[in-house]
Amino acid sequence: MLYHATTPFNDQKPGTSGLRKKVQVFQQPHYLENFVQSIFNTIAAPAGATLALGGDGRYYNCEAIQVILKMAAANGFARVMVGRCGILSTPAASCVIRKYRTHGGIILSASHNPGGPEGDFGIKYNIANGGPATETITEAIYATSKTISLYRLIEAEDVNLAKLGDTKLGEMTVSVFDPVADYADLMESLFDFAAIKTLLAGGFRTLFDAMHAVTGPYAREILINRLGAAPDSVINAIPLPDFGGGHPDPNLTYADQLVAALYGDNPPDFGAASDGDGDRNMILGKHFFVTPSDSLAILAANAHLAPGYKNGVAGIARSMPTSAAADRVAAALNIPCYETPTGWKFFGNLMDAGKVTLCGEESFGSGSNHIREKDGLWAVLFWLNILAVRKQSVEEIVYQHWARFGRNVYSRHDYEAIPTGAANGVMQHLHERFSDLTGTQLGSYKVLYCDDFSYTDPVDGSISTGQGVRIGFSDGSRIVFRLSGTGTEGATLRIYLESYEPDVTLHHLDAQQALQELIGIALQLSELRQRTGRLQPTVIT
Ligand code: G16
């Protein structure tokens, strides 16, 4: 049967990055099919189009891929390129969409959210430039999902996803391809692999934690096979449907094995981790953590050291809550720096228009115009390239950067899974305080402005409102409050804290210590403790 009657679900609104829900939600009859058909109806691919397809290997990945293949065949696609065993990291998917000029792709991932039968699943559509669908498209998909009455799916045997090569599914060709090769080749074209090889051969020790998520095979091929790193330098390298019971989020809380190694006795020189779908990264030195905002700024300041960026950087973009460290580098390089809402989808237009080369977010994401997604291993290789050329430690490079540009002291406090009503209450309360805050003195800080961030895309003029409450102080410090758009349980409230420290003698201070007064102001202003009953953040980064 080709046509299947269905009724709409009312909760298929994509968040910051696609539709993310509990696995059980996706397992409801017709739930996945409705959303996929809503994508297909919205994008209206021309006859003969090719689609890329793959996911981070989490629980339900393969089942969903078989359904999507049969729906693609029923919806007139000529070909679907699917990663072997259904595996495709988010950056590799972006790479493949661009390289083979497909009519976009479907990526199955809930990124850094836990997996397994009780965990999360997700799905998103990436457009032909390789980047996440714009808000206009995701809104149209959502609107379609609210009125859908039928979906198309052919009856057929499942496709063998383990075998490379082409097979027929109805009239459509399914091409199962090696998910690693194209991506690894792209990395080799951007970075000085010979210099990194020499560094690693000379006793420099690196440790990469794939967190039992999708980057294991990519890291093995690139770091071990192509760059000669020691076989034990990639840990948790086998992708597992439940990520080994862990939380595949590369931060100081969840990448605990890596953190223990880098902060232990005789640590490696360099440590890094990536997330469920391979687009995030965390960078560590010996007993040293590089905040993602600083990492973006340091990559920008040193970009000319990597062959792929030797001609310089056209511009930089960062999400609003990301610290202004990159702005300082952009000013020194005399290039523009754009401030966008949270979500990689806001960088695509800027990159397509040639306005920016590097982009980054405080949420452990950085990337460039080589693809249209953030890219975990790319950031790791970029750092290794810089380390190989500068022949200094991670810590030395960061301190020298601060000495030159000053330090944007930064931290994010997350309050996860709080009741939605209480979280909305905090945001509502902050909105109500807007009018009387500007000009007031709060401790040693004077409020310069207070608003809810909105963004007008300089390329297509689209406007995005309600992107986070910002309280800016006269010395450049900031507090930002935002509700996450990627959680699946209650609400996650994020508080972003930033101050600027030009004094080199204070650069060694612990961020929590340096930001103590701002943290107190944030809690007092928001009434977060009273309204949520939470006394401590769940995660501090
Ligand atoms: C996604 C988006 C990022 C965003 C992050 C956090 O990352 O792609 O652009 O910064 O979520 O979003 P939020 O603060 O709304 O939770 P990922 O790695 O989950 O795809």
Write out residues in the chain with pLDDT < 70, as ranges: 1
CATH top-level class of 3-179 = alpha beta
Give the distance (Å) from ligand 1 centre to CA of residue 486: 6
The residue whose CA is least distant from atom 13 of ligand 1 is: 484
Those residues with Cβ within 8 angstroms of residue 513's Cβ, 6 or more apart along the chain or in another chain? none
- Give the per-residue pLDDT at 1: 63
Domains 3-179 and 407-540 share a fold: no
Do 455 and 350 meet the contact criterion of CB atoms below 8 Å apart?
A: no
Give the distance (Å) from ligand 1 centre to CA of residue 110: 10
Q: Measured from the CA of 374, which atom of ligand 1 is nearest?
A: 8
The residue whose CA is least distant from atom 6 of ligand 1 is: 363
Those residues with Cβ within 8 angstroms of residue 505's Cβ, 6 or more apart along the chain or in another chain? none
Topology of domain 407-540, per CATH? Answer: TATA-Binding Protein (3.30.310)
Q: So which residues are the catalytic ones?
A: 111
3-state secondary structure 376-424: HHHHHHHHHHHHHHHCCCHHHHHHHHHHHHCEEEEEEEEEEEECHHHHH
Give the distance (Å) from ligand 1 centre to CA of residue 111: 8
Do 515 and 497 meet the contact criterion of CB atoms below 8 Å apart?
A: yes
Pocket-forming residues, ligand 1, beta carbon under 6 Å: 16-17, 111-112, 275, 279-280, 319, 342-344, 361, 363, 365, 484-486, 494
Six token digits for residue 310: 């030797």
- Give the per-residue pLDDT at 489: 81
- Give the per-residue pLDDT at 16: 81
Six token digits for residue 493: 């409230």
Query: What is the residue type of 447?
Result: V
Domain locations along the chain? 3-179, 182-405, 407-540
Determine how many CB atoms are found less than 10 A away from the CB of residue 354: 10
- The sign of the dihedral angle between the CA atoms of 524, 410, 250, 58 is positive
Q: Measured from the CA of 15, which atom of ligand 1 is nearest?
A: 15
To the nearest 10°, report the CA torsion of 482, 483, 487, 489.
140
Do 443 and 468 meet the contact criterion of CB atoms below 8 Å apart?
A: no
Q: Measured from the CA of 279, which atom of ligand 1 is nearest?
A: 18
Which superfamily is assigned to 182-405 in CATH? Alpha-D-Glucose-1,6-Bisphosphate, subunit A, domain 3 (3.40.120.10)
Give the distance (Å) from ligand 1 centre to CA of residue 323: 16
